Structure formats: structure tokens, C-alpha cells
Amino acid sequence: MTEEKIIGWKSLSINDLPKPLHQLSGDEIQRRKCISKVMTFVLKYFTKEFVNRGFEWLLPVIFSASTDPLWPDPGASIEKRIEVEIYGKKVRATLSMIVHKIMACSLIHPKLFTLSPNVRIERRDRALTGVHAYEFTQLDFEARNASSSDIRSLVEDLFVGLMKELKKFMRDELVYLDRYSCLQIPNPPFKVLNRVELEEKYGGEWDKQLPLEISEPVWVVNIPREFYDFEDFENNYWDNYDLLLPGYGEVLSGAKREWEYSKIIIKMERDHVRKENYSTLLKLAKEKRIKPSAGAGIGLERLVSWIVGAKHIGETQLFPRVPGIVYEL
Ligand code: AMP
Ligand code: MG
């Protein structure tokens, strides 16, 4: 990969920020058309694959009292949380559908996925990282009784299939975007690296350094974060995983989940997460109605950014959601 192809967590300049649709030149419109075609293809591929593999397709929710606390997560940097009152109750815009996924997977559908809206008002200094939007979509999925390695194998399989099909059916678009020859079909199983060793090698910025040195996707495991990721209290090992793509960085986070009431309570208290926002989840966990599961969320705009070689993630959104910039549309 050449220097210009190295994207992700790059410090961009103001001129690299995506413009609103009506200000694009003819060439820029042409490029956006190609990017949209790739997005359509990726959506078609994943939805078809998940449905064919027996996953139920849930429609998204936008406002709930209970949403992802996004805390503590070393990668999170939310400037503001959207809370509004409806019918006399305080609700929050979806930060991720993790709570809904765990509940639905436990109570009704052993395998499910959704195209989940995520409203995360990222700090405005993240405008120039190129990988943060303040609204984006996760392809979020969960499977009852699955292990982390089951989910990693599923993702590897989907990823290889996606790259093969893209090269076959999106050839013209990828050639136009100058990405056809850069994109290689990866070879599973992907390497699994432990975050502790990466910190020893690269320090705290491992998530930005490592992607510049890899030529295949890699998994990073054992990352301390929110209460719902499974933590082994005996050895402090977090049974979770991120997928990092070469030259780009994180596109997926996932985990085996906590299901036991006593552990969830300990973690919420330790992290100062407001238990009152999770009373239904806690009640069900206490009644042993929350089942073990594992899953993940793929950031669709990030994945497509990497595929098309976008400078800024907002190029994959016809109506860009750039932190700190609010366009009329
Ligand atoms: P998380 O569970 O918070 O890591 O989010 C899951 C995935 O969503 C990440 O791996 C990214 O691909 C994507 N993502 C997270 N935050 C953003 C953001 N601000 N803009 C775009 N995509 C994001
Ligand atoms: Mg993450």
C-alpha cells in the first residue's frame, strides 16, 4: 500500500472534510456514485448471508431509556448524550443496540442481526481523524450460546466471501476508485493478538500503530471495557475482540457477554454505571432469563471507507455526519 492509501486515524486537513451533496463537483458526484454502489453491495451481501444462516432481522430502535453506557471504553469520547423526554419519560438516542440484542437473543431469537443506528456525539476534535461520524450504522449481530471463536470464525468467513464477491461483481467501481489491486482476499484464520502484548510493544496507541504494520486483518483480544463484555475475574481476561484492518484500524468490536446477575452488578458498581437505566436487564438476569451469548457490531461506514479508500468516513454518507459540523441536511 502506498502512503496515500494509508487511511484511518490520520490527521486530515479541513480541505479533506466531506462537503454536503449539493456542493459536490461532477467528478465528486461520480466518485460518490461508486461509493454508494459499494455500500449497496455490502448491505446486500451481509443481509443475505445473515438471513441464509438463520439469523432473524430486527428493525432498529431509536429512543429507549436503556442504551449502551459506552463507558468505560478506552476508545469512547462522547461530547454529549442525547436525552429527551417523551410521554413524561426520559429516553436516550441509541448509542448501540447492545442491550436490545442481549434481551432479544435471550428471550426470543437465538440468532439475530440488525442495522442499528448509533448516535454518538463524538468530540469535535475527532472531525479530522477521518474515522469518526456522529451518526453511523452498525451491522450488529448476536448468537445464543456462541463462543468468541465461533463469532470470529463466522466473521472471517463472511469477510472472505465479501472480498471475493466485491472483486467479482464490483470490479468496475473498485477500478474507478483505484482500489481493485490494493484489496486482497484475506487468509483465515486471522492472527489473534493480545492487547497486553500490544501495549508492551506500542504503548497506549497500539490501535493506531498496529494497522500500519499489518497486511492481513487481525484480531485483538482482551480489551477492558463496558460491563456487558465477559470478564474472567480469576485472571482479569476479557473475552472480547476487535477486528483491525490493514492501513485502517478497527471496524468491528464484539465479545462473549456477561449473563450472571452477580457479575453484572459488581461491574456496574465498579464502573459507576447507573443501575436504574438497566433495571429490566438486571431483573431478567436475576431471574436467570439472560442467556450466554456472543456477537459483534461492524461499523458499516468504516468498512466501506476502507474498501473504497475514502479519506474521510463522511464520504460514505451522502449526508455526512462529521463531528462538530452540522449541515442543513
Ligand atoms: P464499538 O462497539 O463502540 O466499538 O462500535 C462498533 C463499531 O462501530 C466500531 O468497531 C466501528 O467500526 C464503528 N464505530 C464506532 N464509533 C464510530 C464512529 N464515531 N463513527 C463511525 N463508526 C464508528
Ligand atoms: Mg470498539
> CATH no. for residue 173?
3.30.930.10
Cell of 154: 463466522
Atom number of ligand 1 nearest to Cα 250:
10
Q: Is 101 a pocket residue for ligand 1 (Cβ < 6 Å)?
A: no
Residue 67: inside a domain, yes or no?
no
Q: Is the pLDDT of residue 191 over 90?
A: yes
Q: Is the pLDDT of residue 4 over 90?
A: no
Q: Is the pLDDT of residue 5 over 50?
A: no
Please state the domain count of the chain.
1
The strand ranges marked E within the chain are 56-58, 63-64, 78-80, 83-86, 89-93, 111-119, 121-122, 135-144, 191-194, 218-221, 231-232, 237-238, 240-245, 249-256, 293-299
Q: Is 301 a pocket residue for ligand 1 (Cβ < 6 Å)?
A: yes
Residue 68: inside a domain, yes or no?
no
pLDDT of residue 52: 99
Mean pLDDT of 304-320: 98
Does 4 or 216 have the greater pLDDT score?
A: 216
Pocket-testing residue among 250, 251, 313, ligand 1, by greatest number of atoms within 8 A of Cβ: 250
pLDDT of residue 8: 54
Residue 74: inside a domain, yes or no?
no
CB 210 within 8 A of CB 218: yes
Interval between CA 189 and ligand 1 midpoint (Å): 23
Tell me which residue range forms the domain holding 245: 19-61+96-118+141-308
Q: Give the lowest-confidence range in 10-14, 46-50, 178-182, 212-216.
A: 10-14
Residue 25: inside a domain, yes or no?
yes
For 233-275, write each residue's pLDDT tens digit.
999 999 999 999 999 999 999 999 999 999 999 999 999 999 9
Does pTM surpass 0.85?
yes
Mean pLDDT of 140-157: 99
Q: Is 313 a pocket residue for ligand 1 (Cβ < 6 Å)?
A: yes
Q: Is 297 a pocket residue for ligand 1 (Cβ < 6 Å)?
A: yes
Which ligand is nearest the CA of 95, by number? Answer: 1
Q: Is 148 a pocket residue for ligand 1 (Cβ < 6 Å)?
A: no
Q: Is the pLDDT of residue 177 over 70?
A: yes
Q: Is the pLDDT of residue 314 over 70?
A: yes
Residue 132: inside a domain, yes or no?
no
pLDDT of residue 257: 99
pLDDT of residue 294: 99
Residue 191: inside a domain, yes or no?
yes
pLDDT band at residue 10, thresholds of 50, 70 and 90? low
For 66-90, write each residue's pLDDT tens digit.
999 999 977 778 999 999 999 999 9
Residue 133: inside a domain, yes or no?
no
Residue 52: which residues within 8 A CB-CB, separation 6 or more? none
Interval between CA 30 and ligand 1 midpoint (Å): 27
Q: Is the pLDDT of residue 218 over 80?
A: yes
Protein residue with its CA nearest to atom 4 in ligand 1: 253
Q: How far apart are CA 1 and CA 22, in angstroms?
A: 32
Q: Is the pLDDT of residue 3 over 50?
A: no
Protein residue with its CA nearest to atom 14 in ligand 1: 299
Q: Is the pLDDT of residue 288 over 60?
A: yes
Q: Is 250 a pocket residue for ligand 1 (Cβ < 6 Å)?
A: yes
Protein residue with its CA nearest to atom 8 in ligand 1: 299
CB 137 within 8 A of CB 116: yes
Q: Is 100 a pocket residue for ligand 1 (Cβ < 6 Å)?
A: no
Mean pLDDT of the chain: 96
Protein residue with its CA nearest to atom 13 in ligand 1: 299
Residue 125: inside a domain, yes or no?
no
Percent of the chain with pLDDT over 90: 95
In the structure, ligand 2 is a single-atom ion and the residues with CB under 5 Å from it are 253
pLDDT band at residue 9, thresholds of 50, 70 and 90? low
Neighbours of 255 (CB within 10 A): 25
Mean pLDDT of 130-135: 97
Scan for cell 450488529, then name that residue: 140
